[in-house]
Chain A
Amino acid sequence: MQEYKSIGRSLPRTDALAKVTGEALYTADLKLPRMLCAKVLRSPYPHAKILHIDTSRALKLPGVKAVVTGFDGEGVKWGVFKSTQDHGMLPTDKVRYIGEDVAAVAAVDEETAMEALELIRVEYEPLPAVFDPEEAMSEGAPLIHNQYPNNINIHVHIEVGDVEKALKGAYLVREDTFRAAGEAYAMMEPYAVLAHYHNGYLDMWMPNAGPHVRAKALSNLLKIPLNRVRVRRVHIGGAFGGRSEVQPADFATALLSIKAERPVKLVLSREENAIATRQVHDMIATIKTAADRDGKIVAKVFKVIYDGGAYSSTGPIATSIPYYVYEETYRFPNVRYDGYRVFTNKGIRGMYGCHGRAFLAGNEQQLDMIAEELGIDPVEIRLRNGIGQGEETATRSKIISCGLQETIKEAAQRSKWHSKRKGMPRGRGIGMGCVAIMCGFPMGFRSGSSCYVKINDDGQVTIVTGVVDNGQGNESMMVQIASEVLGVPMEDINLVNADTEVTNLDPGAYSQAAAFVSGNAVKRACEEAKSKILSLASDKLGVAAEDLDLKDRMVISKSDPQKQIPLRWVVREAFFMGSPIVGTGAYMPKIDFQREWVKNPYGQMAGTFSFGTSVAEVEIDQETGQVRIPHFVAAHDCGNPINPMAVEGQLEGSIQQAGVATVMEENRWDGGLLLNPDLLEYKVPLACDMPEIETVIVRSYDPEGPFGAKEGGLTIRMNAHSAVACAVCNALGVPVKELPLTPDRVLKVIEEVKGK
C-alpha cells in the first residue's frame, strides 16, 4: 500500500481549536442587528381539526412584530418523494400530533413573544387519535391523512428467489417477533434557526445535515427562487440523522422574517427539540429464518412495522434501510421483505444513525439461536454466511471491497471470544453483531458532490465544497485530503463549505457520503490543480511533469530532489500568464439509478460498502435484572481510514449511542404525550456507564474510495445494539424480544426462563 504524508494519520481536527476556546458559533449564538426573537405555538391535541385561528390580539401586543400561521404560506407541501409530499410545515386543515407547530410569533424579546403566544386563539375540534401502529393499520382506525388508506404511508415489498420452496427444503426454520421502542436523537444542541430576509434574499442558519437539500425545500415551500435562499455554514451540535430535512421551525422563522422584514431567531427548548423536530421509529419486526444443516441461511421472510408518527419525513427510505444493511452483510438466496411505515398521532420519525434495532438485534439473536441448535459457534455461522468481495447482495448490489470476515475474526480475537463464549459463568454473556453500510447513497442527481479549489498567490489553498460537518469531522477530513494531494500543511488550507451561495450540490452528512463521495470530489479537484501546477513547473524546471511531485509547499523532482521550486512561485507565474491555478472535481457514486425505493428496489444501491463487527460482554444481576457492559470491542472496515483518530471517535460514540443505549434509551409515551422529552428522564449514557472499549480499524483498500477510504461513521452504530442483545441472549439462554433491555424487562425474561 502507498505511503501517504497526511492520509491515514491521526491528526487534530481543523475545527477543534474554535471549539475548545468557546469561539465556535452555533446557531443560537448568532446575533444580527434588529434581530427578533421567535416562539412557536404548538398543538395540545394529538389529532384535531383546526376550525379557526385568531392572531389579532397577539399582533396588538406592543413589541410583537409578526405573527404567522399556515395560512400565510403558499400551501406547498414537502416530502422527499413526489408521492409523499404531505407536510405543509404549518398545518391549515388539522393538527396530527401534540407539539405540532401551529403559529409563530416574532417579538422584540422572548418574554413578549411568550406573552403573545397566550393571546393567539385557536379553535380546535378534537378528533379520535391513534398511537399504536398495528391499531392504526386496522380497519376503522382514525385516518390521519386522507390519501393514505389504513394509515399505511409506505409499503416496501422485496421478493428474491423462491421463498416457499426454500422454506420447504430447509433443515431448520425459526420465527420470532422483536419489538423496540424508538429513541431520541438527543443531539446536544437543541434545534435553532436564524432567518434573515433582506433585498429579496433569504439567508438561513440552522443545524442541518445537508444545506443544499434544505435550501431546495425552503425554496419550494416559500416559492422563492432557489438562488435567493442561502443556507449558511454554522457550527452544528450533532445530527445523527435527525437534521436531514426541512423543519417547520425553518419555515416559520423564514415567514416571520419575511413579514417583519427583520432577522428572526428561533431557539427551541430541549422539550421542543424532542417533541417537534424528529424522533426515532418504534418498530415491530417479525423474522423468519430458514437454514440448512450447515447453518447457511437459505431463506428470510420479514414483516416489519415502523411507527412513522404523523408525516412521511424520510419514511420511504427508513422503511427498508434496516433490511438493506443486513442483506449487505449476509448472503440471502431467497428473501421476502414487507416493510410498512404506518402513521400514528405522534411526533415525526426520521432516519437515525442506529435505525432498526428491533430488526437488526432480532436477526442477529436468531442467528445465534440457530447456531446453538446446530452446534455451530456464532462466529463460525457469521463467517459462513458473511458476504465477500465480488459477490452480489440479494437485491443485486455488487460488493467491490469487503473486510467483513476480517472484522469478525479481529473482533473475536480481541474479545477472546473463543475462550469466553464457552466458559461464561452464570449471568454473564458475550455476543456479536455484524452489519454493512452503504457508502454513496441513491439520492438522484444529489448523490454526487463537487469541489472547486484555487491556489492563492501566497501558495495557500482555498477549497470550496458543499460538504457539511455535524460534529463528525467532515470539514477536517476534506482539508486533510487536499493537504495530501497538494503537498501543503493543513494550516495552509482554507475551507469554504456548506454555504449554498458558493458551494455546489453535495449529498449531505446523513447518507454516508462525506468521505466516499465528497472526499473523492475534493481529491479530484485538487488533482486537477496539481496537474496544472506540475505542468507549469515542468517548463520552469525542465523536468518532465511525471517526475514532479508536490511536497512541503514545494514542487520537487522525484528523481533529483535538488531540482525544486516553491509552489507559490509557480502560482504567481500562473497569475502572470493569465491562467491562475484552479481546479474542479466531481464524483458521482456508481449507483443504478433505475433502482427505486418502493417500485423497483433492485439494483446497485451504493458505490461501495463498509463493514463492521461488534462484540459486547454483559454481566446481568440475576436478582435485579440490571445489565452491565464491562467490555466492548468494535472492529470496522472503512477501507483506508483518512483520520484513524476520527474513525475511532465514531466507533466509541457508536458504542455509547447504540450499545449502551440498548439497556437504557427509549422514548416513553402516555398516548400522544412524550413522557421524557428532557435529558433527565431520557437516558443518554454517562461516562460512568461506559464499558472499557477496544476499537480496531481493519485497514483495507477500496478501489473507488479516495485513497481507498470508505465511510467510517456507521456500522458500529447499527450493530452495537445487536452485540449487546446477543450477549444478553447468551447469558439468559433465550432471545430477548423487547428493547431496550431495561432491568424490568430483563428480569421478566429471567423469571420466564426460571419458570420453564
Chain B
Amino acid sequence: MKVNFKVNGEEVSVEVKEYETLLETLRERLELTGAKEGCGLGACGACTVLLDGRPARSCLVLTPEVEGREVETIEGLKEGEELHPLQEAFIERGAVQCGFCTSGMLLTAKALLDSNPNPSREKIKEVISSNLCRCTGYDKIVEAIAEAARRLRKGQDVGMEKESH
C-alpha cells in the first residue's frame, strides 16, 4: 500500500507492506539507517524517531499508521549545515562511545528540550531512562544534554535581544 508522510520536512510517498514497521521503511526503503534495531521489541530505544515531535519506538509503529504525519530522524537533526546544539554537546562532552544508541538518545533528548528548555539533571535522567546505553554509564550523556540546554537557552536569549532591538 502507498503511505504518504513527511520525513525530515520532505513529503514522501512510499509503497510498503501493510505489516511493515516504520523502522523497516526508514532503513530499507528510505535508506535512513541512523535509526537502529537493537531489540525489535521496544525495550531498548535505539530505533527512536520523532513522530509529530514526540519520541516513538519506530520498531513498534506500523508504517501505515504514520499516514499524513511527520517523522523526524537523526538525519534531519542538523539545521542546514549547522549541527544541532545537542549534537555538538554530545561530541564535545564525550557522550558518544559505540554510537549504536546515539541516534535514539539524541532524538529523545531533542523532544525533551523542545518541551522543557531547562530540565533538571534528575529530569534528564528520568527521560533518557527510555533508552538503553551499554557503554557510557549515561553520565556524559546527561552532561551533554544539560550543556545543550544551556546553549539553546542562550541562543534564544540572543535571538530575543535581537528582536527587541
Min C-beta distance of A692 to chain B, whole Å: 9
Contacts of A10 in B (CB 8 A): 94
- The interface bits of chain A over 266-289 (1 if a CB of B lies within 8 angstroms of the residue's CB, else 0) are 010110000000000000000000
A16 touching B134 in the complex, CB below 8 Å, given contacts A22-B33, A686-B129: no
Sort chain B's interface into a size bin: 35 or more
Sort chain A's interface into a size bin: 35 or more
Cβ of A186 and Cβ of B134 under 8 Å apart?
yes
Cβ of A270 and Cβ of B94 under 8 Å apart?
no
Pick the residue among A24, A29, A649 that contacts B135 (CB under 8 A).
A649
Distance A17 CA – B77 CA, assembled complex (angstroms): 13
Distance A542 CA – B135 CA, assembled complex (angstroms): 51
Contacts of B83 in A (CB 8 A): 20-21
Min C-beta distance of B22 to chain A, whole Å: 15
- Interface residues of B, dominant DSSP: loop
Cβ of B43 and Cβ of A20 under 8 Å apart?
no
Cβ of B136 and Cβ of A652 under 8 Å apart?
yes
Min C-beta distance of A43 to chain B, whole Å: 22
Residue B155 lies at the interface, judged by CB distance under 8 Å to chain A: no
Cβ of A236 and Cβ of B98 under 8 Å apart?
yes
- The interface bits of chain B over 79-93 (1 if a CB of A lies within 8 angstroms of the residue's CB, else 0) are 000010011001111
Cβ of B98 and Cβ of A187 under 8 Å apart?
yes
Q: Which of A165-173, A315-323, A543-551, A654-662 contacts B (4 or more CB under 8 A)?
A: A654-662
Residue B100 lies at the interface, judged by CB distance under 8 Å to chain A: yes
Cβ of A679 and Cβ of B102 under 8 Å apart?
no
Q: Which of A359-367, A457-465, A467-475, A734-742 contacts B (4 or more CB under 8 A)?
A: A467-475
Cβ of B125 and Cβ of A687 under 8 Å apart?
yes
Q: Which residue of B lies closest to A30 (CB)?
A: B33
A688 touching B126 in the complex, CB below 8 Å, given contacts A22-B32, A189-B100, A237-B100: yes
Contacts of B129 in A (CB 8 A): 686-689
Cβ of B92 and Cβ of A680 under 8 Å apart?
no
Cβ of B37 and Cβ of A188 under 8 Å apart?
no
Contacts of B99 in A (CB 8 A): 15-16, 18-19, 24, 235, 237, 471
Residue A76 lies at the interface, judged by CB distance under 8 Å to chain B: no
Chain B CB within 10 A, most for which of A189, A267, A689: A189
Residue B39 lies at the interface, judged by CB distance under 8 Å to chain A: yes
Q: Which residue of A lies closest to B125 (CB)?
A: A687
Cβ of A686 and Cβ of B132 under 8 Å apart?
yes
Residue B112 lies at the interface, judged by CB distance under 8 Å to chain A: no
Cβ of A649 and Cβ of B106 under 8 Å apart?
no
Distance A684 CA – B106 CA, assembled complex (angstroms): 19
Distance A555 CA – B92 CA, assembled complex (angstroms): 30
Q: Which residue of A lies closest to B124 (CB)?
A: A687
Distance A672 CA – B51 CA, assembled complex (angstroms): 41
Chain A CB within 10 A, most for which of B86, B98, B133, B139: B98
Q: Which residue of B lies closest to A652 (CB)?
A: B137
Contacts of A15 in B (CB 8 A): 96, 99
Q: Which residue of A lies closest to B28 (CB)?
A: A31
Cβ of A237 and Cβ of B136 under 8 Å apart?
no
Cβ of B38 and Cβ of A653 under 8 Å apart?
no
4 A-B pairs with the lowest CB-CB distances in the bound complex, closest first: A22-B34, A471-B98, A237-B100, A19-B99
